[in-house]
Chain A
Amino acid sequence: MRNLAVPFLSLTVLASLVGVEAASAAPSAQVASMRRLTQAEYRNSIADIFGKEIEVRGAFEPTIRIAGLQSTSTGVLSVTPVGFESFSSMADSIATQVTAEKYRAKLACKPKSDKAPDDACAGQVLNQYGRMLFRRPLSSDETKNAVKLSNSLAKSQNDFYAGLRYGLASLIQSPNFLFRMETAGPADNKQYALDPYSRATRLSYLMWNSTPDAELLQAAEKGDLNNAAGLGKQVDRLMASPRLDDGMRAFFNDMLELDTFDTVSKDSILYPKWSSGIAASAREETLRTTIDLALHSNGDMRDLMTTRKTFINRNLAADYQLPFAFKGEWMPYEFAADTGRSGVLTQASMLTMFSHPGRSSPTKRGVAVMDIFLCEPTPAPPANVDFSVVNDVNGALKTVRERLMAHATNSTCASCHNHSDPIGLSMEGFDTIGQRRTTENGKQIDLSASIQNKKFEGAEGLGKFLHDNPKYTACIARKVYAYSRGESSEDVAASAFKNANKAFADSGFRMRALLKAMVEDKDFFSAPPPETTKTATKLAAQ
């Protein structure tokens, strides 16, 4: 016995060593990115999987903005206990609705008895929905666990559908649904590349802001997304759908930082007109304008900085001091040439989000324009600065410009303010809720500005400056790229989206051209090789 045991033992050790070696040298698969679903992604996915009639009620954990994008934080944040509590009860509520009497006809099968477990039928339903929820087929263990749970609860409750409800709920609160897992395997040149289902996921959330549909999952299953023709066919299909609006709305909502509206308050005494209705309308106005230009009229994205065309409703007409004689909710509108309006820069959204509750802020506006449209973030100001002179409206300095200039003579401050202030000062023709004005404290407002020795006047001048600035269009390309992959826009190398940016320019800055070139680029689905075991251990120990 003894003699036998020794070689057996060493064999086991050897085998496990080989196993470890193999694992650290070339893991067959590596999760390249793991992104928590945003509220919109979650809602859209549930609607697509179970139908629009399913109600989703509950609180979602907030995201944070990293390098200009909320989407970047989805690759950094996890699920806190409070967030999970909410995910868990939403999962149960969704599963309850799906297994309720009136929904049952939609399910793939009927149990042998309503009052007892039926593993075959439960497995069929769980597999079907599981594949859509996880955006890939379930593993046999995953199916087994969900069926086991359904079985035991169906038994204890004497109710097949109760069991199914809990099995389904376990899938809807699984990390495989709540996180978009993109898995990569070894490809050519020591690079890794996303597996077909992960490709479908990345494409679908970018284009439709939702989970892959049946056809896209099928294309993944057949391996079509791994060749140019098959990929191109699916990309064209996704882009031809009106649902592209949803995807691009989500992107521009993020890029233009429109979520800022969630926490904007205005001074009700100084600006009694302001209301939450105007806030919601202003957000919608900017999205409508952007989507109309980018998708519906296939326009030149540079015009977003200059166009006077917009959409208004009754709320906005009040804010913009325009007559509103129209029956419907929204109508296209074009500002008159002498209004000084210029693209989204002078829409109520941008003007109000980047202001104080009771006054405009050239610095906030300037910093926002640099960050959002030029991808040039401004560092935090030094801690100990005397801003008093900026505030004293009763002193000799009447306008914001005069006060700001006085403060920016300080050389430390000047290095940043010289960048952002000219931009913000040229927008001073509009107050904190986006209304036009020509004077401040009784004095004419000076709207002249100059950046890099280029002189311009007012928001229109700023709009032209940005329109002609290649940094602006490159910034859109950079942010789409970062957004689609959940990366930090500041860490993305310009070479990564070079081809897409060129296609963007060649097309006369059409959004569709940018999107298509980006997702069809040979590197769009590539991933860095996994960390070696050494660095992984080191990181884990930190």
Chain B
Amino acid sequence: MDKVKNIIDKLGIPRLIIISFLLLLFIIAIASGLAIPPLIGDSIRRVGMAGILVLAMIPTIRAGMGLNFGLPLGIVCGLLGSLISVQFNFTGFTGFFMAIIFALPFAIITGIGYAWLLAKVKGQEMMVGTYVGFSSVAFMNMMWLVLPFTNPEIIWPIGGTGLRYTISLVNHFSGVLSDFLKLSIGQFEVPTGLILFFVFFCVLLYFFFKTKIGLAIDATGANEMYAISSGINVKKMRTTAVVISNCLAAIGIIAYAQSYGFLQLYNGPMFMAFPAVAAILIGGASLKKATISNVIIGTILFQTLLTISLPVTSQVVDGDISEVARLIISNGMIVYALTRGNKKGGK
């Protein structure tokens, strides 16, 4: 009995509710004759796709700046890196890693600028971050039209300048991670490489917070005055956290794109911060505290819920309401999680 109570305490009521809801959806799915293995495989794939973007929330939360709603800023850096990689016709793993290598300098430079801006608006980081994200998308909307890319695969087929809305990666690095060591059992597929890539970054970030500099970031977030009186350069720690978050966002979108098979430009990245925010909050993080396990649990719950609920709702309800359902579920979860946001994590 104590053991059960312990588990409940550790998970927290909200996660129990979501897990029960998930189980209910599974039961309905089975009852209505849906094939379960592809659903699970699909969930795992989406966890791998979205995972690093969710992980990008951690550094800013732990530095005391709240959730990084400016995720699109890092995402456009990732897209830019990928485009350069495609422009030079790199393919396969080379293409994938070159995309990351090209993206990181942009992510670092814009991250420093973003951190500088956030330092000016201390206490309102999340609100300002949201608009930084939106503005960066708007700014890049113009840039996509004028940047001097010449590869015919990515510019408009009619010629001239300007990039397409969606750019296929089939000839470049589409699926390089997902197909690496891929497990297939009938309809059930596990993108091992993608999952390993996500786990690698989880471990990396976990150990980063066990270093001197990671501890300094933690202390800055936990109590700024304590950090200052410990001789920690608080501003530098905040900048470091933002830059790491921005870089993770850039890497995250590249991993996402290789699995999805396309780069989505223009307004594509506009709302990508929200699912990531929802996921980490559902995982039990608060605005002040977040751990790697919050990311993992949250991403799994959130992505599985999205994957399962769509086919189930369209089974139960006549007509196609899947898009509406998706919006209600993901935004509803953010609202729900933010209202719990002020409480301590895990409650």
Tell whether A and B belong to one assembly.
no
A: residues with CB less than 8 A from B are: none
B: residues with CB less than 8 A from A are: none
